[in-house]
Amino acid sequence: MSLTVKILGCGSALPTTYRNASAQIVDHNGKLFLVDCAEYTQISMRKAGLRFTAVNNIFISHLHGDHYFGLFGLLSTFALSGRKQALVLHCPQQLKQMLTSEFSPVNIKELGFDVQFNILSDDGVNKIYEDKTFEAFSVPLRHRIPVWGFIFKEKMPLRNINKACIEKYKLSIAEIVSIKAGSDLYLEDGTTVPNKELTLDPPKPKSYAYISDTVCLPSTAGAVSGVDVLYHEATYEALLAERAKETFHCTTLQAAQTALDAGVGKLLLGHFSGRYQETDTLQKEAQTIFENTVCAYDGMELEI
């Protein structure tokens, strides 16, 4: 299975000539999940060769413009392109009211496709999406307005059958299905063959977490514990910790400490203030706490 993250924008409030505001694609086996949707997102998607029809779920972390202003244009483009399949918006309650107002009197139902709203809850970590192999969760954070992060996880796959055992024990289709699901094999002479002798370990499920605008919270590390890659906002360098506190944002060192406490595999910094044209110093600063740190950049593609 494949899990890839594509950065469409990793800047903060003010878009610059070298960095767009927040938007990214989580690609799981060709299913595209759009996370935040700042201005210019649909153009970035076109440049990246991403199929609009593969996006059926959009996750909006909060209602500051640099995280959702591109949504209105994207929905209009979907409509003009003749989209028919339903779209699910995982979002704050107020966004439903905004979109209904924006598209009236045309009415949001007349876009030509069904828009479903999954309203985010601030009551702890919640599962908000699930299919046969993948699931997503919302994580309440703390900013000047209600805000959420998102966790994307592959489900634990079934164990792989050891092909040599199929011939050795003359396994039927029904037995193979049962063994892959975790059952032991019971032979006619009363012998039990343990499942671990019949199967091989499946690939480790992959996981990714997106932590949007927030102050540093101890609860965040618990929520994202052990993920393969953590994208965490790092709007400011450590020298500007007071500014970060005033604006309800994080510094590089705070993001790095969260990654360390959570035991993640890799830290991906993003949501950089427009004052930083280059991010090398931010990366090096974070690496003093969490070595496996890299800075995001527009157009970046990271396979997990």
Listing DSSP states for 200-252 in one string gives EPPPPPPEEEEE-S----HHHHHHTTT-SEEEEE--B-GGGHHHHHHTT--BH
Question: Same domain, yes or no, for 44 and 153?
Answer: yes
Give kind and range of the element (H or E) at residue 268: strand 266-270
Question: Same domain, yes or no, for 135 and 176?
Answer: no
Number of neighbouring beta carbons within 10 Å of residue 195:
16
Question: Same domain, yes or no, for 226 and 286?
Answer: yes
Write down the catalytic residue from 27, 36, 66, 298.
Answer: 66
pLDDT value of residue 108 = 65
- Domain extent, residue 216, equals 3-157+203-303
Question: Same domain, yes or no, for 249 and 127?
Answer: yes
- Which pLDDT tens digits describe the chain residue by residue (304 residues)? 799 999 999 999 887 898 999 999 999 999 999 999 999 999 999 999 999 999 999 999 999 999 999 999 999 999 999 999 999 999 999 999 888 777 654 556 678 899 999 999 999 999 999 999 999 999 999 999 999 999 999 998 878 888 888 888 888 888 888 888 888 889 888 888 889 888 888 889 999 999 999 999 999 999 999 999 999 999 999 999 999 999 999 999 999 999 999 999 999 999 999 999 999 999 999 999 999 999 999 999 999 9
Q: Which two tokens stand for residue 245?
A: 């506190």
Question: Same domain, yes or no, for 174 and 288?
Answer: no
Q: What is the CATH number of the domain that holds 65?
A: 3.60.15.10
Residue 27 annotated among the catalytic residues of the structure: no
pLDDT value of residue 185 = 83
**Residue 39 to residue 176: CA distance in whole angstroms:** 51
pLDDT tens readout for residues 210-266: 999 999 999 999 999 999 999 999 999 999 999 999 999 999 999 999 999 999 999
**DSSP 8-state code for residue 45:** H
Question: Same domain, yes or no, for 174 and 121?
Answer: no
Question: Same domain, yes or no, for 130 and 177?
Answer: no
Count of structural domains, the chain: 2
220 and 258 in contact (C-beta within 8 Å)?
Answer: yes
pLDDT value of residue 200 = 85
Question: Same domain, yes or no, for 168 and 41?
Answer: no
pTM (two decimals): 0.90
Q: Report the first-to-last Cα separation within the chain, whole angstroms.
A: 10
Question: Same domain, yes or no, for 152 and 165?
Answer: no
Question: Same domain, yes or no, for 65 and 179?
Answer: no
